[in-house]
Structures are given as C-alpha cells and as structure tokens.
Chain A
Amino acid sequence: MTLDAFLFQVLNGLSSASGLFLIAAGLSLIFGVTRIVNLAHGSLYMLGTYIAYTFATKIGGVTGFWGGIVATALIVGALGAAIEFVLLRRIYRAPELFQLLATFALVLVINDFALWLWGPADLLGPRAPGFRGAVEILGRRLPSYDLFLIVIGPLVLLALHLTLTRTRFGRLIRAATQDREMVGALGVNQAVLFTSVFALGAALAGLGGALQIAREPANLATDLIALGDAFVVVVVGGMGSIPGAYLAAVIIAEVKALCIGIGTVDFGFVTINFSKFTLVAEFLVMAIVLIARPYGLLGKAQGAVRSIAEPEEPIRPATPLLKAFGVAVLAVLVCLPLLAQSSPYVLVLGIDVLIAVIFAASLHFIMGPGGMHSFGHAAYFGLGAYGAALLVKWLAWPMGAALIAAPLLALAGALLFGWFAVRLSGVYLAMLTLAFAQIVWAAVFQWEGFTGGSNGVIGVWPPPPFDKSWVYFLLTLVLAVAAVLLLRRFLFAPFGYAMRAGRDSPLRAEAIGIDVKRVHWLGFAMAGLVCGVAGGLFAFAKGSISPETIHINRSIDGLVMVLLGGVQTLTGPIAGASMFALLQDTVMRQTEYWRALMGAIILLLVLTFPQGIVGAFASLWRKVGGRT
C-alpha cells in the first residue's frame, strides 16, 4: 500500500468514525447519568434512518433532506424522553439484569414496529443536496459527503464538550455521573435531569442514523449491528466518557478502514485477505484495551455492582417430594415416544424443549451461582452447532464424533472469551459477552466459503437409527438429563460453593484463598461446554444451521428462560426453558410479529414477575409455612 492510499484510507476511517461516535456518545451519556445500558440505542439509531428516509423522499429536496435530519433528531429525542418517562422510570431501582432485559424488549418491539410501518425491504435514501459530487484527494475520488461527515464528528464532540463544561445542564450531568445520590440530596430534580439526558442521548442516536441515509440503505438489521459497534466503542473508550467515545470511534474505524485498505496480501507461504478480518481486528483492539485498561481508555472504575434483588436462600438438597416429581416427569418423557404414532409433532416439540433446557441450565450455571450475566450465550451454542455441522460437511465425520467435538469447540471458545469476560463485572461483562457473540455470528456470516454465509449449512441429518425422531428424542433426553444432573452436582460441590462465594463477596472469597477470577473463568468454560452439547444436538435435530439461529436473539431467549423460571432457584431454568420453548413453538409461530409479542412478554416478566415462576411459587410456599 502506498502512502497516498494509506492516507486516503485514514480519511475514509474518519468519516465512519463520526457515525460510530454519534451513537456511542448517546449511549455513554445515558449510562453515565442513569446507570442504565440502553440496549434499545441501536433501535433509536435505526429509527433515525427510517424517519429521515421518509422525510427525504416524501418532502424531498433540500428541506426534506437537511430539514428532515434535524426533525428526525428531534423526533427520536422526544421518543427517547417518552421511553424514559413510561418505562425506565419504573426500573431504576431494579437489578441491572432487568434493566438490560427491559431495554432489549424495546429492541424487539421497535424492530417489529419498523417492519410494520416501512416493510421488510431495504430503503435507499437520496444523495445529500449540496454534497452530491466527489472531491479529488491524493489522486482518488472521495465523496464530498464523507468530508462533511469527517467534520460533523468533531463538531458534535465540541458542542457536547461545551454543553458539559459551560452550562448548568452540563454541570448537572457531570455531577450526576460522578455521584448520583449527592445530586439528588442537593435538591436537583432528578426526574427532569434523567428524562432530558435520555432525550439528548436518543437525539444523538437519531441524528447519527439520519446522517447515514445518504450512504447506506435503511435496513431492519441495523439496530443490532449499530448496538454492537457502539458497545465496542464505549467499552474501548470508557463508559461515560465523551472524549473517550470519540477517541475509540476513531481507533476502531481506522483499524477497520486499514484492514480494507490493505486488502489481500501474499506472504509467500500464505495469502491473507485482510478485508475479511475487520471484525477480528475490532475484537483484537477491544481485547488489547481491556487487558491494559479494564475500564476503557478514558474511563474510570465503576462503583460496586448492585446485587440481585432478593437475598438468596442457601441451596438445599432435593426434598423427597422434588425427587419424586423429577422421577415422574422423567417417566412421562421416557414414555413420550409411544405417542409418536398418533402425533409425531409431540416428539419434535419435545426435542426443542430438551435442547432449550440444556441451553438454559448452562446459562443459569454462570448467571445465578456465578453472578455473571452473559448476554452472549448464543456464541457457545453457535460454536457447538456450527462445529458439528461443519465437521459433517467438510470432513464427513460421523454424528457421534461430531457430537463429542461440538462441546469441545464451545469449550475452547468459552475459555478464550471467558478469560476476558471474568475480568469485568456487571454491565461491562454483559456488553463484552454480547460483543463476543456478535463476533462469532459475524464471522459465521462473513466467512461464506467455509460456513455457507447467510445460507448456512444444510444436510446435517443424523444417521440411522437416529433418523427416527423417537430415537433422537431419547438421545436428547439422555444428554439433557445428564447435563442437568451434572451441573447440579457441580453446584453442590466445593467448586459451585466457591463460585457463589466469589459472587457474594469477591473480597472475602479472595481473603480465604479463593482465586475468584479463575473459579469464575472455569465456571464460564463449563457452561460453554454444556451449551455446546445443546448446539450440536440442535444442528442434527434440524438437519441444518443458519446464522440467524445463533443470533443475539438466542442469547436473550436464554436470559428470558432463566428469568421466567427464576434465577435464584436450581429447578427454575428447567421450568422456564420448558415453558418458553412450548410458547415459542405454539403461540409465536402464529404471528408475523412474534418479536413484539416476545418483547411484551419480557416487559410483563420484568415489571410484574421479577422472581420468576419457580421463585414466586417458592416464596408463596414459604409464606404459607410449608417447609418440607
């Protein structure tokens, strides 16, 4: 690459950095003041692209485009204020897990809303009036709109900086970022402050989205892509730091632009196409920053993370009643193949439920006793599923070997990602796990030659006798029972206790010689291993695997299963996963807008049923005095 080409890529990177900065700055501001990680931030960005598109095409011309961008920022800002007022205000005191889930519910609802209003097709906006041409720089043509974007990022940074340092509103924001309670104690109206900060952050996301319509089409997938990018930027720059967000946006965008600029390089013995490695590069930047500075380049260590809402009961061995119930359920399940003649769908449903149980039990293992709220458990499911499918496709491995390799691949992934994840806690951990899962998904999606890209891998059918659904059902049942009992055994063993000790009080656990990070890391790895079993079983059960089955939605499904059952109970994930899988296979298949329905269920759960089903029953049981 020549120097000219290099400089040209630097300019390209700077124009992308502005977009990244706008969305990350809003996310960071909102988190700084409200301590809520707004997962719906990418959705606000996406709405920005759609609304600006509508203005630009329906009104048209200079007014429609530039006026539309301003109007879009205002509308999305107002929507943000409404969201804060109606929903978030109710959950400021809730555990952060619930806040994350509630904002994710909004992601689902907003996505279906956009689908309903604008339809599924990509919508390409007009070119920007006044910036239609290109400028010749260094012998190459750079769209003049890109130059405009390069300028807009630093301008917004400057405006935000002046607002934060020179105005009363800005001083309040900074004060609240440092000590929220003190600001309240000094008589500042927090409700108004929170609403206005949320509106400002949302407006920035809307602006960022609106500015993109001249470059990229409005698309229903942008919400999660933008969210993933914003997470990486915010983690690298440091939560709550606006200059950090710009710095990180520039670094990430430059690294990506340079990867594309380098293109294919022949090293003599091997040829590498660097433009396919933009995501890996992004991951590497984040990993390096997190090792050197766990709270980001310009971030500060966060205060103690809030603990779970209700104090947790000590775990007790299963009562005779529970054991009898378990045996009864198992007996019914073993007899289920007898029904195969009359209604074969029951077995398909049964396999889905059992896979969901393994998935949820493994997530609960780190989420409950480990206190690590992973928002990226789909990564290990995906590694298992794709691992098994690809081994069959490329190496023609038999099912048995593939099913053994699947969890091992997931284990390898969990060991790698977990090593970073356990160094963080709370929302940082949630964001990092989510970012890792996005990377796995994107790698599968981008690496078309190997993984089949968006088409996925097909023809992964089990050999006889497992091609009969009742045999495969029994195989799944055996593995599910083994997984659940094994994880339970681990939780009652010293290792499980050490995991809980590290969660209850890391300081005290360290003070009695427990290496908390190591224990949690190994716990994370075990959960990945078991989750890989679910992934492998899934691939053979469906006969195929595609990127969407390992998307972030699956991670969130897992969280909902665990919360539905109750995170503080050991049997909760089993009940939650069963109910969820049944719901998904029955009710949700009936409607095109299943995402919105799912979002509504999550909101209902978070606002009214925080202990989950089993948890609610257990506390009711204690209240009526029925101790066994």
Chain B
Amino acid sequence: MSVLELRGLNKSFGGVHAVRDVGFAIGKGEFLAMIGPNGAGKSTCFNMINGQLAPDSGEILCEGRNIAGLAPRDIWRLGVGRTFQVAATFGSMTVVENVQMALISHARETYRLWRPASSHHRARALELLAQVGMEDVAFRPSRELAYGDVKRVELAIALANDPKLLLMDEPTAGMGTSERHGLIELVKRLVVERGISVLFTEHSMDVVFAFADRIIVLARGRLIADGDAATIRDNEQVREVYFGTGKTFALSASQGAKA
C-alpha cells in the first residue's frame, strides 16, 4: 500500500480552478519532487495534504485512510510531518525546547501541569539535534539562529514524531547553493536511514534532478507528467508548458550533479 495516495483531487477558489483531478501515489521510502511553474497548484495541493485546506472533491489516502479535510494536527498525529516554506521556530524558546515541545506533543503530554517542560524528553531532543548537526546551539534562544540553521532545527522538529511521510514546502528556499545541497543531502540521508517517504516542492531544478527518485509536474492545476528524472527531462509536454522556450533541463541537471 502506498504511504500517500491522491485520487481525483479538486479545489477551486472563486472562479479559479486551482487543482483539477490530480492523482498520484508515493511509495515507502520514496523521495518525490513536485514541480511546476508559479500558479501550477503545488501549494494548493500541499495545503490539502497537510490539512490547511479542505479539497472540494477527491480523496487523500494516508496508508489507506482518507485524511481529506482533517485538521493539520490530526494529520500530524497520523505520522505526517512537515516543514514550512518560510522556516521559523517558537521564538521565545531555546533550540532544544523547540524540539522538546514537539516530543511532548507526540507523547500526548501537552496538558501536563507539574513537571517542568525542560525535563521532558531532553536526551531524545538533543539526539535529534545532533542528527541535524545543531547540538552546539541547543541552548541558545532559537530566534538568534541563522536562517540555514533554523531550517535544520525545523527538520529536527519534523522528525520528532517519527513520521512515515515528510512534506517539505520548498525546503531550500532562501538558501545559498552549497547550503542548499548540504541540507538536501542531510534530508536524503535521514530518510533513507529511517525509511521515510518525502514529498517536496522545489524551485531549484539542480536539487530536484540531482536528488529526487521521481518527479511529478503540475501545470495550471493538472498533473501533466510523472516519472524519473530522465523521463521528465525528455517529456515534450513538460518542456512546452514549463519553459515554452525549448530550453531543456540538461544544463541545470549537470550542474546539480557536479555540486
């Protein structure tokens, strides 16, 4: 059974049909990229999967269970983690407390009133921070972190509930090239180790073509292609819709491979 399967998903805003009959599936451990030009419906799709939007029609099956229309927190409880396009943390907490908060919630200890939060799951939180290379700043206020570090901390938070699926909305937006590859390599290593599936949207094609196991392409709300990097690169429709200029992905892909 697929970790996540979308069937005939639709969403309109007023007169704009943002997502039309989109359907695809993610297998276990798959690293799936969703690409498409601006306005293709990526964010709408994403927000329906993570619960911020309810679809007009269609099903979103998480290991066979329909999660369409559930609240974000309930979807998270089913083992779907997420990171945000613009990364941020809980600014009034230290880095390790941010991770502890997620662990506390995962253990359903949110309503505990007595033992200090800082003593809950501290070791596990430090371990997660070590995995993303952030153990040195664990006790700093999280709002003092550099943006790239915030992205890593956010990843540690997203891993706190042992997700089977990780949704990453433009995980490398706002980062420099080397930082970008460092982060994606880290994600890839962690998900391979843990057998997590990942669905991510991305604007930098170098990252997509260098790391994704499979790519799906959206344009004007429709799914127009689904396949591995080579298939997508040679797809006539993708070239036409995506660039319209006849330019291919070959150049950026080779750059990505070198980096």
Contact = CB atoms under 8 A, between A and B. Distances in A.
B88 interface: yes
A489 B161 contact: no
Given A501-B101, A508-B84, A511-B76, A312 B113 contact: no
Given A498-B105, A513-B161, A515-B73, A505 B113 contact: no
Given A314-B93, A511-B72, A512-B102, A494 B88 contact: no
B88 A512 contact: no
Given A314-B93, A513-B105, A492 B88 contact: no
B76, B91, B94, most chain A CB atoms within 10 A: B91
Contacts of B82: 511
Nearest to B142: A314
B245 interface: no
B32 to A, nearest CB: 20
Contacts of A317: 116
Given A510-B71, A512-B76, A512-B157, A495 B105 contact: no
B106 A513 contact: yes
Interface residues of B, number: 38
Contacts of A504: 89-93
Nearest to A313: B141
A364 interface: no
Contacts of B93: 314, 497, 500-501, 504
Contact of B110 (A312, A313, A495, A507): A495
Interface string B41-80: 0000000001000000000000000000001110011000
Interface residues of A, number: 31
B113 A311 contact: no
Nearest to B92: A312
Given A314-B97, A317-B116, A492-B118, A514 B90 contact: no
B94 A314 contact: yes
B92 A511 contact: no
Contacts of B71: 510
B85 to A, nearest CB: 11
Contacts of A496: 117
Contacts of B106: 512-513
B116 A512 contact: no
B50 A513 contact: no
Nearest to B91: A504
Nearest to B95: A314
27 contacts: A311-B91, A314-B92, A314-B97, A317-B116, A489-B113, A489-B114, A490-B113, A493-B115, A493-B116, A494-B109, A494-B117, A494-B120, A497-B93, A501-B93, A503-B92, A504-B91, A505-B89, A508-B84, A510-B73, A511-B73, A511-B82, A511-B84, A512-B105, A512-B161, A514-B105, A515-B73, A519-B110
Question: Which 8 pairs of residues, A with B, have the shortest CB-CB distance?
Answer: A312-B92, A504-B90, A497-B117, A513-B105, A512-B102, A492-B116, A494-B112, A513-B73
